[in-house]
Amino acid sequence: MDVDHCFEHDESLVLIRELVAQIKTYLSAPEINRVVLAFKLSEQAHRHQRRKSGEPYIIHPIAVATILAQMHLDCETIMAALLHDVIEDTDYEKDYLNQEFGKAVAEMVDGVSKLHNLNDKSKTEKTTSKKEVAAASFHKMMLAVTRDIRVIIIKLADRLHNMRTQWFMSVSTRRRKARETLDIYAPIADRLGLGRMRDELIELGFSGYYPFRSRVIRHHLQQYHESHSKAIQQLELQLNQWLEKHHVISAVKFIPQQNYNIYKELRKTFKDTKDSVTFRIIVKDADNCYRALGVIHQLYQPKTAQSVTDHIAIPNANQSQALHSTVVGSKDFKFINIQICTWEMWAFTEFGITVSESHKNTHEWVRNVLSLLNNTSNSLDFFEHIKADLQPNEICIFTSKHEIFTLPKGATIVDFAYALHSDLGDHLVNAKIDGNDVSSLNTILESGQRVELITNPEATPCPEWLNFAVTGRARSHILKFLKKLNREQAIVLGHRLLDHELNRFGKTFDLLNESALNGLLSTFKCKTREDLLVDIGLGDHLAFLVAQQLELKPLAPSCEESTKPLAIRGTEGMVLHFAKCCQPIPQDPIMGFISAGKGILVHTQKCPTLAKQRQLHPENCLRLNWEENLQQTFEVEIRVELMNIPGALASVSQELAERNINIETLSLVRKDGASPELKLNIAVHNRKELATAMRAIYRTSVVHKVYRHRNLV
């Protein structure tokens, strides 16, 4: 189909001819006609638009489509690339593209399109800042990726061309785009095995974020390669001849270092980063990979036993395969890095999922993305989880059934459990590493370990796991559970708080008629009765203000039930907290302070911190007392001044052990040579048990003084 008449700009004409010439090499005539029709619509839609450079906007979609055509992507992907900005930047809508080019193309274009305003019908949550809008756009795109992986490939090509033309952007925009490219898009390209695209994105991101540093390194590296070009050629020839001598048919290629990788190593001197050189050896099959490795090790000695890595038997996270070895080099190079692979392995390393039929790893990555989407409540959290999961430096862990799982470096047993299955993570209680019990679930795993998980159906995730879980999958599942638990606990507490206020009127929440309930929901902008109770339990709405909205007549002041303080059990979970400043325990006189979004913070009545809060927000204070016969323990801090003699600490510990009182933490506060002072956090049931324990400690012959310590200001 002739397209020349569509243009008024010579460069655009050249580019579309190049695109058509490229797709003619692998697409059929009917498919080429569909691509040209998509181009015509795109050209018409962008006819009056210009890029920052002043050139016609159509040049950008043509360039994006050409990048994908060079990777031999299918007809629909090329069409979507040509149309990828039509919905976002013009008046054409998704329904029109669906009608003209089919559902798949329309869905891909919509998936790549950003969100720009709060009224976008694709958007499901409020955003109030550019950062949130960007996160919501990314969230929307990744949701589309879970339905069609081609969406992210189009986005990567779009980002690649934008980075190639980044110098027309403002400095702030260029740096923001460059940082995004380094943190998000280059790692995604790596995860999909798109090595060639990844390398260019990294170099363009580095030059955009640090233009001067990039130029300096590029200049020095170019000088170095020029001065060592003869040595590199001789080494390449030597490797070729040595392999040929041992009947290994191969192609040896020098791999130049990346500027960004050198920059990251510049904590050393620049000379140190140039002590090594890298070659890729490509052979016909996996058997010859191992033969080639043996031949190379006859010529050059491996640096160490650990410097040989078999990524054929254990592929990388993106399923790329090769043998890696670092050998001791010659006089020109201290070390030589060798990568050995087959032609198929090389093609996958360069073009990833676009040449893979199984897409096994892609499906795993997409499943992980889908899990994150299902377990994060907002776009910003999802964006941060994805960033965490895309960090480099990965380890391989074996299950008890000898299956291999890849995790980021620094991952713990909790991360591994959630990587296997969410149920394993939710019910995890312990684990064994290489057959040995571990002391803690925060144990950091090392590559090659075999991990056996121990679970209990009654166990649930702990909030403390968030302190050491590093993968987005683990963190999102833990947060989802805690938020659900927090909501359930908030409903119970909110119900009790509201009933406590309604008692003054002789009412309860459950007995309110439908009209009164609907009025409350409307006033406080809540969809359901549970939402209202959650807001009360978390302190977003005060119970007495909610009760006042009903305009009920209070009972007589003498009514005992209406004047009772709210009784607490200490088991209300994450919606009730005990102040660290005064550490209230049962039998202490207490009062609560309702904090928006956090629930109730319990203080002792004489706490100075509470006194300040009562002056500022008296309406947020709540009368409390303790339930009778509480069984759980509460943490309290005591200080013990000891004699400086052997066995003093053991005497104190023994007194507490005899009374079944657990020491939560222990530390030395000060030591002046005569009277060391211990800081003990112990778990007691009430003030009576605390007093008994303190008297027992004081009666020992090694103690000068013992007292309850409070962090009062």
Structure tokens given for 451: 């991990």
Structure tokens given for 165: 């033309």
Q: How many CB atoms lie within 10 A of CB 650?
A: 10
Residue type, 307: S
DSSP for 309-327, please give it: EETTTS--TT----EEEEE
Structure tokens given for 143: 């949701």
Residue type, 684: V
Torsion sign (Cα): 197, 199, 202, 205: negative
Catalytic residue among 74, 88, 199, 200: 88
Structure tokens given for 268: 């050393």
Residue 130: left if φ>0, alpha if ψ -120 to 50, beta else—which one? alpha
Contact 415, 469 (CB under 8 A): yes
Q: What is the DSSP letter of 55?
A: S
CA geometry: angle at 141 spanning 411 and 195, to 5°? Answer: 60
Report the distance separating Cα 491 and Cα 531, nearest Å. 8
Catalytic residue among 18, 31, 74, 89: 89
Report the distance separating Cα 35 and Cα 105, nearest Å. 11
Pairing between strand 576-578 and 599-604? parallel
Structure tokens given for 29: 């005539």
Contact 279, 333 (CB under 8 A): no
Report the distance separating Cα 178 and Cα 210, nearest Å. 9
Q: How many CB atoms lie within 10 A of CB 348?
A: 24
DSSP for 159-202, please give it: HHHHHHTGGGS-HHHHHHHHHHIIIIIHHHHHHTT-HHHHHHHH
Pairing between strand 450-455 and 394-399? parallel
Pairing between strand 590-595 and 599-604? antiparallel
Q: What distance separates the 2 farthest-apart alpha carbons in the chain?
A: 106
Is-catalytic flag, 88?
Answer: yes
Contact 587, 626 (CB under 8 A): yes
Radius of gyration of the chain (CA): 33
CA end-to-end span of the chain: 82
411: helix, strand or coil: coil
Task: Please report, for residues 541, 543, 595, 600, 614, the alpha-carbon distance to residue 619 in angstroms, rounded to integers and kept in the order given.
Answer: 11, 10, 11, 13, 8
Is-catalytic flag, 89?
Answer: yes
Residues in CB range of 356: below 8 A, 6 or more apart: 193, 319, 348, 362
Pairing between strand 404-408 and 436-437? unpaired
β-partners of residue 665 are 681
Residue 76: left if φ>0, alpha if ψ -120 to 50, beta else—which one? alpha
Q: What are the catalytic residues?
A: 88-89
